[in-house]
Structure 1
Amino acid sequence: MNENYVNIAGFVGTDVEARTVGEGATVATFRVASTPRRWSSKEREWIDGETNWYTVNAWRMLGRNCCDSLRKGDPITLYGKLSVQVWRDDAGNERSTLVVDAACIGHDLNRGRSTFERVMPEEVDTNSLAASNASLGVGGPQVSSDGTTIDDLVDREEADGVIAQAS
């Protein structure tokens, strides 16, 4: 299966909005503008190209950290899986939106300074986690320290089309 991964340098174009989906997963969504520039030897100046707009979805811890760290206008770099969503507007016209499911996001340090603050996941009682996993039996779903089960991951991959259904 072919998937398109992209690296994008641009600016946060909207406020970061967070919402909770499914069983408590956080997703942060915002728009990023990226304008290519090239040097024109004829004009002897930099010329801006057409601005590309992307909708970015950042899940779970990455989403929570985006809400705490990013502001409209911040220069960022991001890496993630690119897809195109096609939809119809109120007038019936077909529209498309470029969507990036982010894997990594950071401030663009070519444009300024940033500081890093490590955020530790909430404290996990490993004894109760081990007991919970043992109670599910061999071959049963196993729970990670963030509360995600392997079944949750498989369900998400099936929804994303990563795992093909056997017929």
Structure 2
Amino acid sequence: MAGETTINLVGNLVDDPELRFTTAGAAVAKFRVASTPRTFDRQTNEWRDGESLFLTCSVWRQAAENAAESLTRGMRVIVTGRLKQRTYDDREGIKRTVFELDVDEVGPSLLRATATVTKAGHHKAPQQPQRTAADPWTTQTPAPQYAAEPPF
């Protein structure tokens, strides 16, 4: 949608994804990703870690079930989604604001790993059976002949 902030996040899973279901039966998986920027210091000839960003992510429906089954704590992941801001009152009544990622896509990073991909089953509508001549609804009956003018 227009006006939404879409971001790509690369980092490590802090915990295993937690899969839950809404009262309507929709699957949702929540997980946190820690992303730490690294810069190279030419004076010391070493890599330096910056301040880590911890972001809570939510993925829905079939992708939630796939993520919960495939991803584990410590894995390096690539996440694409829409950044959302949420405000709430904590237990002491103090207003808090958090930023969360509403995930569109998530998967393992292949920078330092390999993966075997298995396609998940699709939820398709059942196919209609082929109609046979024995089916009374498929037999062609001549259309009734009507007069050009209504009978009233």
| Per-residue deviation, 1:96 | 2.8
Supply the distance in 2 between the matched residues of 1:96 and 1:73 (Cα, whole angstroms). Answer: 26
Deviation per CA, 1:16-47: give whole Å up to 9, x if none.
Answer: 11111152111111111101111112332111
Alignment of 1:23-38 (within 5 A): 23-38=24-39
Report what 2:84 is aligned to: 83
Q: Which moved more, 1:44-53 or 1:114-123?
A: 114-123
In structure 2, what is the Cα distance between the partners aligned to 1:111 and 1:95?
Answer: 37
Distance in 1, matches of 2:6 and 2:86, equals 16
Identity rate of aligned residues, in percent? 31
TM-score normalised by the chain length of structure 2: 0.77
Please identify which structure carries the higher helix content. Answer: 1
- Which residue pairs with 1:107 in the alignment? 108
Q: Which residue of 2 aligns with 1:4?
A: 5
CA RMSD of aligned residues (A): 1.8
Shift of 1:85: 1.8
Equivalent residues, number:
128
Q: Distance in 2 between matches of 1:92 and 1:41?
A: 48
TM-superposition CA deviations, 1:37-88 (whole Å, max 9, x none): 1111233211111110111111111101001100011110010111122223
Counterpart of 1:19? Answer: 20
Report the Cα distance in structure 1 between the residues aligned to 2:5 and 2:124, rounded to whole angstroms: 36
Say which SS state the counterpart of residue 101 (structure 2) adopts: strand
Residue of structure 2 equivalent to 1:70: 71
Which moves more between the two structures, 2-11 or 17-26?
17-26
Closer/same/farther in 2, CA of residues 93 and 49 from structure 1, 3 Å limit: farther
Q: Secondary structure at the match of 1:62?
A: helix
- Per the alignment, residue 158 of structure 1 pairs with none
**In the aligned structure 2, how far is the partner of 1:93 from the partner of 1:37?**
34
- SS at 1:127's partner residue? coil
Whose relative contact order is higher, 1 or 2, with alpha carbons under 8 Å and at least 6 apart? Answer: 2
5+ residue gaps, structure 1, are 129-167
Change (3 A) 1:45 1:92: farther
Q: Render the CA deviation track for 1:122-164: whole Å, top value 9, x for unaligned.
A: 4631339xxxxxxxxxxxxxxxxxxxxxxxxxxxxxxxxxxxx
Q: CA deviation at 1:91?
A: 3.1
The CA deviation string for residues 102-126 of structure 1, in whole angstroms up to 9 with x for no partner, is 1111111002111100111246313
Taking a change above 3 Å as real, the CA distance of residues 45 and 93 of structure 1, as seen in their structure-2 partners, is farther
Unaligned runs of 5+ in 2: 130-152
